[in-house]
Amino acid sequence: MKFVIIGGDAAGMSAASHAKRSRPDLEVIVLEKTTDVSYSACGMPYIIADKDRNLEDLIVRDAKTFREKQGIQLLTGHRADHLDPLSRTVTGETAEGKGFVLEYDRLLIATGASAIIRDLPGVNLPGVFALKSLEDGRRIKGFIQKNKVKRAVIIGMGYIALEMCEALRTLKIEVEMIKSRPVFLPWMDEKMSGVIKEELGVHAVKLHLGHVIEKIERDEDTFHPVNLKLVCSDLEIECGMILVAMGVKPNSHIVSGTAIKCSVNGAIAVDKRLRTSDKIIYAAGDCADAYHVVTGKKTWIPLALRANMAGRAVADNICDREVSLPGVAGTAVFKVFDLEVARTGLTMEESKKSGFDPEAVVVQTHSRAHAHPGGSDIWVQMIGCRQSKRLLGVQMVGKEGVAHRINAPAVALHNQMTVEEYSHSDLAYAPPFGPVWDPTLTAANQLVKKLKT
């Protein structure tokens, strides 16, 4: 059997490796349009910030290892352009411009996602970047070093934007962030997002909310090799570099013109076995949708763990080991200078849109027992449903004890626990790591009372 995979990063290479281990006789062919495979994209901001390291440090396993040690036919520089499910073929072009046609018995689409770039005048000027691929990271790091950038503007205030904000400040670059919407983090409780805004202020980051960007210009009146100007109707900012960090979109264009169905945000629709509407074609990773474990409905939340997990599941399924994935809770964590920020499940707005009658509490407690030195505040928002009493979502902010603590409510969401059931959970306690009542238990106890009123 010939198993063809389009895309050589998390989902694609996880599927290729697991399939080859499970069935050494399987012919596994991977088409990757770039020369980079199997790398930790989430680590790019931290490598960019470190003058002594380069982006190659993020490569988990190089192409040579996949080819020589695992027997995978990894074809880098091969861009897949067209899919024909009727003839079971993929056509495309190599980096040298040579066309190819490849037949398959089973196919995995693992094309990932790409950065959202607005059709903005000047967005293609030198010094304007997005950060999605390893090559993007190389270009950004090289540009900063070559041009000795002193000031940067980040368009957007999401996960990548905030992580890159810290990276740039680590390099002593002045940073201003801008977005068109007037609310800083619309998915987060205002009190908790205020803690993050305060942290940005401590590190001299300027925020510009509610400014619609009109264009980017090159300022020819300076002697600096690259000097850019971000122009809004009511604001102009000069800088040496601009990072566009407005989110990502699924790379699902390969199924355009076929009968393969798409769903949320244009992501490729898959069932719990990762099969598309064509049952010999699978999709996994950031190009595919998933079921949300709270709502039971389709969602699109690009996550690294899900991509790796889905790739393995596809390999099991084509090797006749039936595996179904229940879905995602949207569990995520990111760092903003000294803060850890985490979330899982639904926000208040998402809960309402999904048909729940949500109630929430926000508690401010401590990362360690009150008598133990070195602790700091932790803020927890917990959301539950008035009718079913189910736990719907949790958000957390603090300087320590947040990143891994979010995993407990994530597991509770996967098991559809009520808030009261979670409040009875036997969680670990020791003074250096938390108070006797874990912050999430404190929030749950408060929410149980509120749901009963």
* Token pair in block for residue 73: 């036919």
- Helical segments of 23-153, H only: 44-48, 63-70, 134-147
- Could you give the angle at the alpha carbon of 390 between the alpha carbons of 422 and 427, nearest 5°? 10
Burial class (CB in 10 A: 0-12, 13-18, 19+), 146: exposed
Report the amino acid identity of residue 319: C
Among 42, 287, 319, 385, the active-site one is: 42
Report the amino acid identity of residue 229: K
Count how many residues are written for the chain.
453
3-state helix, strand, coil in the chain (%, to 5): 30, 30, 45
Contact 326, 414 (CB under 8 A): yes
Pairing of strands 113-115, 174-179: unpaired
* Token pair in block for residue 30: 């991977």
Q: Which residues contact 146 (CB under 8 A, 6 or more apart)?
A: none
* Token pair in block for residue 141: 């790091």
Q: Which residues contact 157 (CB under 8 A, 6 or more apart)?
A: 177, 179, 184, 185, 207
Closest among 43, 15, 41, 45 to 29, alpha carbons compared: 15
Cα–Cα dist 207/326, whole Å: 39
Beta strands in 77-201 (DSSP E): 78-84, 89-94, 99-103, 106-109, 113-115, 128-129, 151-155, 174-179
Whether 42 is catalytic:
yes
Q: Which residues are catalytic?
A: 42
